[in-house]
Amino acid sequence: MPLDIAETANSSIAEPTNLVGLGRDELKAEMSAFGAESFRARQLWHWIYHRGVTDFAVMTNLAKGFRERLAAQYALRRPEISRAQVSRDGTRKWLLRFADAQEAETVHIPESDRGTLCVSSQVGCTLTCTFCHTGTQRLVRNLGAGEIVAQIMVARDALGEWPSPHEDRQLTNIVLMGMGEPLYNYDNVAAAMKIVMDPEGLAISKRKITLSTAGVVPMIARCGAELGVNLAISLHAVTDELRTELVPLNRKYPIADLLEACRTYPGSSNARRITFEYVMLKGINDSPAEARELVRLLKGIPAKVNLIPFNPWPGAPYECSTDAAIAAFSDVVFNAGYSAPVRTPRGRDISAACGQLKSDSIRARRTVTAPAPAA
C-alpha cells in the first residue's frame, strides 16, 4: 500500500492534545468527540485537578484499555521548569517554559499562617509602568488558561500538595500579581480561575484569590460579577498628572473613573475590602500631603491600603522611600481608619519581589499575535 507521505509526516510531528488546562465543558466535549461517555469526563477532571496526576496509567477506576487509548491520543503535560530558585527567606521562584519556548515566572511566598502564589497572566506586559521591571519587557503574548492553571499545578507538585483539599496547605492564596495585566487577558484568566475555584478542581475559594489591575476600568465590573475574586488596584499616585507618568494607562482611565469602578465593585464590603497598592518612591509620591489626599480619594470605598517599598532593579530610575517616610505615610492613612500595612519585600535576593519579574522571552519577529488591548 502506498504511503501517504504528507499524512505520515504530519502525524509524526503532531503533539498529543494536552488535557491539562481544559475547563469542564471543554473536557466534556473532548471526551464526547473521543467517543467516551460523559461520566468519563468527570472522572478525568478528578484525576487531573483533584489528584494532580500526570500519567493515565494511575487512573485506576478507568479500564486498562481505555487508559491506553487515552494515553495514545492525549497528554497530561506541565510546562517545563527552566529554572527554580529559593530565596534566603523561603520564597521560591519558578521560571516556566511553555510549549512554544516562551517563559513566565511564578513565585511562592510562604508565611506563618498561609502561603501565597503569585501568578503571571502574560509573557511581558504592555503597560510600561516606569517603576516596574516587567514593564521594560514588551508584551510577548497572553498566557492561555491552561498555562495559568499550570503555574498553580507546578507549585503544588513542588510543594507536594496533592490531592487538592489538603490540610495545612502551604499554598492557600493566589494573587494575580505576576507578569502582565490580568484584565487585558480576561477570558483566559477567567477560564483558569474557574478551574482553580471549582471545589472538585484545585479548590481554592474566590475569597483566597486577589486580582491586581493597573486599572482597566471597563473590565472591573465584569471581573467582580463573574469571578467575585478580591480586587487590588495599583494606584501609586493621587493626582492624574503623576499617575499618568508612573502608570501610563491612567491617560485612558483616569483616577476618578477608576475609583468610581471601585465604588461599585460587586461583592465588596467592609468585610471584603478593595486593596489599594501604593509603591513608595522616594521624593516622588511619598509625602504626608499625598497620604492625606489618598485618604480623601478613598472616602466611601471599602478600602485597605498596601504600601509597597519600591523594589529596585538594574537601571531603575527610582529609589525606595526612607523607612521614616513610609512610616509617616502609613500613620496618616491608619489614623484615618484604614489598615495600611507595609508589604515586606520577599525574595529580593532572587528577584522575586513585586515588579522584579522579567523573563528573557523575546518577541518573535512577524509571528507575534499580541492581543489588542481591551477597549
Site residues (vs ligand SAH, CB under 6 A): 129, 131-132, 177, 181, 212-214, 234, 277, 279, 308, 310-311, 354-355
Distances (CA, A) of 326 to 141, 212, 306: 36, 22, 11
Q: Which is nearer to ligand SAH, 106 or 164 (CB)?
A: 106
Shortest gap between Cβ of 146 and ligand SAH (angstroms)?
20
Helices (H), the chain: 5-13, 24-33, 38-45, 64-73, 145-159, 186-197, 217-226, 240-246, 255-263, 288-298, 323-335
Distance CA 118, CA 353 (A): 10
Q: How far is the CB of 214 from ligand SAH (least distance, A)?
A: 4
Residue 101 burial by Cβ neighbours in a 10 Å radius (0-12, 13-18, 19+): exposed
Pairing of strands 92-97, 103-110: antiparallel
Q: If you count DSSP H runs as helices and E runs as strands, how many of each does the chain have, helices first?
A: 11, 13
Q: Closer to ligand SAH by CB, 103 or 181: give it.
A: 181
How far from chain centre, in Å, is Cα 170? 17
Nearer to ligand SAH, 158 or 342 (CB): 342
Helix (H) or strand (E) holding 233: strand 230-234
Q: Active-site residue 132, yes or no?
A: no
Q: Which of 103, 105, 181, 290 is catalytic?
A: 105
Nearest-approach distance from CB 311 to ligand SAH, in angstroms: 4
Q: How far is the CB of 369 from ligand SAH (least distance, A)?
A: 20
Residue number of the CB atom closest to ligand SAH:
355
Considering beta carbons, is residue 76 or 214 the nearer one to ligand SAH?
214
- Residue 348 to residue 370: CA distance in whole angstroms: 30
Q: Which is nearer to ligand SAH, 69 or 273 (CB)?
A: 273
How far apart CA 169 and CA 113 sit, in angstroms, is 10
Catalytic annotation present for 290: no
Peptide bond into 163 cis (omega under 30): yes
For ligand SAH, the closer of residues 164 and 213 by Cβ is 213
Taking CB atoms within 8 Å and a gap of at least 24, the contacts of 229-233 are 229/193, 230/206, 230/272, 230/274, 230/275, 231/262, 231/265, 231/268, 231/274, 231/275, 232/175, 232/177, 232/274, 232/275, 232/276, 232/277, 232/306, 233/258, 233/262, 233/274, 233/275, 233/276, 233/277
Minimum CB separation from ligand SAH for residue 119, in Å? 10
Nearer to ligand SAH, 253 or 310 (CB): 310
Q: Give least dist CB 274 to ligand SAH, A.
A: 12
Amino acid at 279: V
Instruction: Report the SS3 class of residue 351.
Output: coil
Question: Nearest-CA neighbor of 93 among 37, 154, 160?
Answer: 154
Q: Which of 118, 132, 223, 354 is catalytic?
A: 354
Active site residues: 105, 354
